[in-house]
Structure 1
Amino acid sequence: MRELVFWVGSLILALLIIWLIRLLYFKPVNINHFFERVMLKFALRYPEILTMIRVLEKFGIYSHNKKLNNLSDKFIQKEIKRIEREFQILKSYDRESLSDKDRLSYDIMEWFLGDSVEGGKYKYHSYPVNQLFGVQNQLPSFMVSFHQINTLRDAKHYIIRLKKFKKAFMEVEEGIEIREKKNIIPPLFVIEKVLMEMENFIMTPAEENILYKNMEKKLKKLNKISPKVQEELLEKTKKAIKDDVYPAYEILINCFKRLKPKGVKDVGVWNLPNGDQYYQYLLKHYTTTELTAEEIYNIGIKEVERIQGEIKDILTRLGYNDNKNVVETLVELGKDERFTYPDTEESREQVLLDYQKIIDRIDSSISDLFNIRPKGKLVVERIPPFKEKTAPGAYYNPPSMDGSRPGIFSVNLLKLPVKWDMESLAIHEGIPGHHFQIAIQQELKNMPTFRRVIPFTAYVEGWALYAEKLAYEKDLFSDDYSKLGYLKSELFRAVRLVIDTGIHYKKWTREQAIEYMLENTGLDETSVVIEVERYIVMPGQATAYKIGELEILRLREKVKKALGEDFDIKQFHDLILKTGAVPLKILGEVVDKYIEKRAC
């Protein structure tokens, strides 16, 4: 009997291995297996993603937590070829024979892979190290935010990763040198800001570095590790920072010092080889539409005019009837002591508490708008001070898929916010904005994994802007000043359409873009400079927000008109959220099918 059990077990194991080999290396018969294979092979190539989503730990697999992503040119070339192969395999399936559900997944995957293949043509048309992102700030942030330290093994893996910084930085340097040969060189301001950031980072004594402090903070919570072992781990962490992390930064510092004399003044991608075609690709990539740069520019101009008119109406209602334009009045209100915090560390702690209060209040006020809610929790945290000078005002990181880490609304407290701006930002990044949509998407059942995690910027950012609009429509803002904060936020996104296309299509200078934003938003100059410089190194991305919001609003009106009294806002939100992130064209097709089904 024991022999029979052994042979049956061996047979099952052999069949499982054969199935896995076929799944990984040959065309799966079931298209859903193909979908899972695409995501599995992608995730297995990026250990940092595996650490972030935490799906392997429950199976006792931890080895990825001591590795960093491969950033070499050779690896990138292989990835492009792999995606091209997967795209061809996808197209070999008979789409018409699939169920409606699988056909939708097919269309989403087809768009995603096709877009990736097209993007491969422009693999060097970017600045991999800039004032917003790159190994110099993303790796420390990743180690702090996503590398959990719950056991001795986790702590050892943390130190191993620190020792691999040098290899990662050398791989990035290789990519920069390839771009240099192709005359793709960052603007001078990018080079100067990155140099300052990296030089400041290595000037900090190792025991005061955020990577050391992070280990120290997390070890203090682990009673199961003795004080002696904790001391040894901290000493090894300090040594790794001195011997591996700081020398890694020196590699890129020397690289950028050499690049500095070549830094360019023309900031638009039109200045790059085939720059116009590249920009049109980026607009399609980010907006998931066929809109041209000229069309997006014109949409922006019209939206700026409309929103400024609404702001003027509220200012009139509040008694601001002087001859100043709306922007001048917004600037003055931003300095009003009623709406500002004292510039102290105590105030910074209070800001985080106040954001949490806003989120809690909004969360308790939307039961008549949503059937579905995320299970994942949301916390508010400060952006690490070493990143504040170049980081955006706020951003969101989703919860881990195993539930061990909550969603995080990260706030930049270099400059304290104006109080009447805070509600719109909390709604956008938190509830019912990014946290609502992204956490719900991760929690969706009975659909391919890629549809639970893949982002499409126009949908994701469009939803967050739509969430702000919804709160405005439903009178969830606490007063007229916070409504002004929302309109100022909406105006900001409309201005982005004009500036992004202005820089990369109409050949505006950095100074022209800054001037336009100052004249049309009411933002302070520091914030404006950060934003404009963001659009320069992330061309096209800023256009996705408003285009996505406008499309969701258009689709809602379409459903309202078709269903009349049968329209249910909760069901509409269910439809959008339970579909997950999709290209806008496909979202329109989903809505059309919903209308057709309801009309029957």
Structure 2
Amino acid sequence: MKKMLKRAGIGLLSITVLGGAFAAHEWYAEKPFFFRNFVDRTLVKMAFESPETLTSLGFLESAGIKGHNARLDDASPARSDEQLNTLLDARRVLMTYEDADLSEEDRLSKEVALYLLNFMDEAKAFRHHNYPVNQMFGVQSAFPSFMQSKHQVTSVEDAEHYLARLDQVERKFLQYLEGLKLREEKGIVPPRFVIDRVLTEMRGFVDTPTTQNILYTSLAQKLSEVEGLAEEEKQDLLAGAEQRIESRVYPAYHGFIAYFEQLHAKAGEDAGLWRLPQGEQAYDAALRLFTTTDYSAEEIHNLGLSEVDRIQSQMLEILAAEGIETTAGFAPAMEALSSDPRFYYPDTDQGRQQILEDYQRILDEIDEGIAQAFNLRPGVGMEVKRIPAFKEKTSPGAYYEQPALDGSRPGRFYANLYDIKATPTYSMRTLAYHEGIPGHHFQIAIAMELEGLPFFRRVSPFTAYVEGWALYAEHLAWEMGFQQQPLDNLGRLQAELFRAVRLVVDTGLHAKRWTREQAIDYMLANTGMAESDVIAEVERYIVMPGQATAYKVGMMKILELRERAQQALGEQFNLAAFHDVVLRNGALPLDILDRLVNDYIARERALAAN
């Protein structure tokens, strides 16, 4: 138990005396004596009420505790309201800890916690301005993905827990339906294309023969790796899965299908958040959340337009130097490049497998070559996987999945291989650096391993920092010589251009009332991306308002801070030390990161003066 709570982040003192009166006070009292015990306890208690979170974190299993793996979360609106009220009540207690009584680290933790809690309070009026069933990350695809990637099966008990979770799908989906109907009453209905996408996906899911469904095949694969499992017992477990998919899972999906079929007539074609009640205010709140700035939609839109012009100019120079005709403009030049078969793998299973192997090779290479730039490095490894076929058509080009908290599951870079033309060879390095090393894997895995920090800071969700770091990592890799070929650098610039275009398109959709088609046309004309990727991206921005603006805003801030430190410190500047400052505190709001870099500059100057 001590090890379990330590991994969860509970303070060392309370672990040492666990079982005594003091520990009981720290766990049950409204205000524990120690600040860190309070913030850790608040998040750990919430995690213990979310069996899916516990499975994802993966720290209880090593202590022999597995009962949570037999349950799914309570997804009811009442439970969501209860969790919000719990957090807002925690803010009240948090404010009773005086800054003068806290260490410097605890004061920073208090500041970060208040930033999050204050935003939750300000934005609670907009908590239903979302689409829980959507083509990107809705529960209809998240549940099978969770069972495949997070639910570990190493024993018969684990497999029985897997079956128990299949039994609970109907209950969970009915709770989601309750939330969907609440949104419908408030006038929050997805655009028609979102409904079309999820209906297509769910119909395909239930039309799949049971023994070919990912919930069955995933369990079969996991059981095949369980040592000592008798074939008869394995077949009994698989028969149990087959029966539950047919009697529990498919009926749950049919309930969603019936709801969205009747909702279809109420949906419109307009895509932006502006069309919903209080939609403009909700979008302003989304921009504050995702950028951790007060930039207006207009400021972000104009920043994007400026960056698009700058980056396209650099790309046109490279294209011209490579002998590609550019007089007709940017889009035709990129189309000429992207139509060249030299830059694509064979459209076969073997070609796709080679892509995964080459991504791993790229990551292994940079992992060995950037030691001088980092003092902090993650202890856990990472691997490259293909996005599951059942959801890759509507998934982004790639994404990163964090490792288990105890290191039992590595970090994973998932690549979308649905459209082979979406993976030109000249873009692969940049994508690997963003999702893997030194991008998301370095930042997220390092944060999770920072044992001196409270638990919530090791998993804090500040998108501008997290995605800004990953985009900065692409730039850093280029600076360090890992994209030496001109077309590899073009791939880097195309990825940065993509994030600049996002500033324009996201604000265009949600603030300037662009249609979905306008956004697709603009993105096609200004990125040179495959049309399948453009459509998936634009539809992502529609169901995740504001999130796409975080990348470029965060990257530009980190570069600005690095330039500030270089100018102030001159020869004293050390890149690895700067990266320490950025990475050693977990994800942060950008204004807090700004202050910490200023503090670092002041310390270095003081040391030099002495």
Does the pair score TM above 0.5? yes
SS in structure 1 opposite 2:413?
A: strand
Which residue number in structure 2 is paired with residue 489 of structure 1?
A: 495
Displacement of 1:15 in angstroms is 5.9
One-letter code of the match for 1:125?
Answer: H
Q: Does 1:438 align with 2:444?
A: yes
Change (3 A) 1:340 1:571: same
Displacement of 1:58 in angstroms is 2.7
Which residue number in structure 2 is paired with residue 414 of structure 1?
A: 418
Alignment of 1:21-420 (within 5 A): 22-416=26-420, 417-420=423-426
Change (3 A) 1:245 1:17: farther
Of 484, 501, 504, which residue of structure 1 is paired with 2:510? 504
RMSD: 1.4
One-letter code of the match for 2:295?
Answer: L
CA contact (8 A) 1:24 1:37 kept: no
One-letter code of the match for 1:91?
Answer: M
One-letter code of the match for 2:300?
Answer: I
CA contact (8 A) 2:478 2:484 kept: no
Q: Within 1, Cα distance between the matches of 2:551 and 2:443? A: 14
Uncovered stretches (5+) of structure 1, i.e. residues with no partner: 1-11
Q: Within 2, Cα distance between the matches of 1:201 and 1:19? A: 49
Which residue number in structure 2 is paired with residue 461 of structure 1?
A: 467
Which residue number in structure 1 is paired with residue 569 of structure 2?
A: 563
SS in structure 2 opposite 1:149?
A: coil
Change (3 A) 1:21 1:263: farther
One-letter code of the match for 1:389?
Answer: K
Q: Does 1:592 align with 2:573?
A: no
Change (3 A) 1:13 1:429: closer
Q: Within 1, Cα distance between the matches of 2:265 and 2:536? A: 23
Moved more, 30-39 or 90-99: 90-99
SS in structure 2 opposite 1:579?
A: coil
Q: Within 2, Cα distance between the matches of 1:321 and 1:186? A: 42
SS in structure 2 opposite 1:389?
A: helix
CA contact (8 A) 2:440 2:466 kept: yes
SS in structure 1 opposite 2:187?
A: coil
Q: Within 2, Cα distance between the matches of 1:119 and 1:391? A: 28
Change (3 A) 1:14 1:46: closer
Instruction: Please list the CA deviations of residues 125-147 of structure 1 after superposition, one character each: whole Å capped at 9, or x if unmatched.
Output: 11110111121100000000000
Which residue number in structure 1 is paired with residue 10 of structure 2?
A: none
One-letter code of the match for 1:46?
Answer: S
CA contact (8 A) 2:386 2:416 kept: yes
CA contact (8 A) 1:83 1:117 kept: no
Q: Does 1:515 align with 2:521?
A: yes
Displacement of 1:549 in angstroms is 0.2
Uncovered stretches (5+) of structure 2, i.e. residues with no partner: 1-15
SS in structure 1 opposite 2:571?
A: helix
Q: Within 1, Cα distance between the matches of 2:317 and 2:97? A: 56
Q: Within 2, Cα distance between the matches of 1:493 and 1:335? A: 22
CA contact (8 A) 2:395 2:416 kept: yes
Give the TM-score normalised by the residue count of structure 2.
Answer: 0.95
Displacement of 1:84 in angstroms is 1.0
SS in structure 1 opposite 2:373?
A: coil
Q: Within 1, Cα distance between the matches of 2:426 and 2:211? A: 39
SS in structure 1 opposite 2:369?
A: coil
Q: Within 1, Cα distance between the matches of 2:123 and 2:28? A: 24
Change (3 A) 1:365 1:15: closer
Q: Within 1, Cα distance between the matches of 2:511 and 2:529? A: 24
CA contact (8 A) 2:419 2:532 kept: no
Give the TM-score normalised by the residue count of structure 1.
Answer: 0.96
Instruction: Please list the CA deviations of residues 298-325 of structure 1 after superposition, one character each: whole Å capped at 9, or x if unmatched.
Output: 1101110110011112122223354132
One-letter code of the match for 1:536?
Answer: I
Displacement of 1:33 in angstroms is 0.7
Instruction: Please list the CA deviations of residues 259-305 of structure 1 after superposition, one character each: whole Å capped at 9, or x if unmatched.
Output: 00011222111111111111110000001111111111111011101
Displacement of 1:13 in angstroms is 9.5
Displacement of 1:24 in angstroms is 3.5
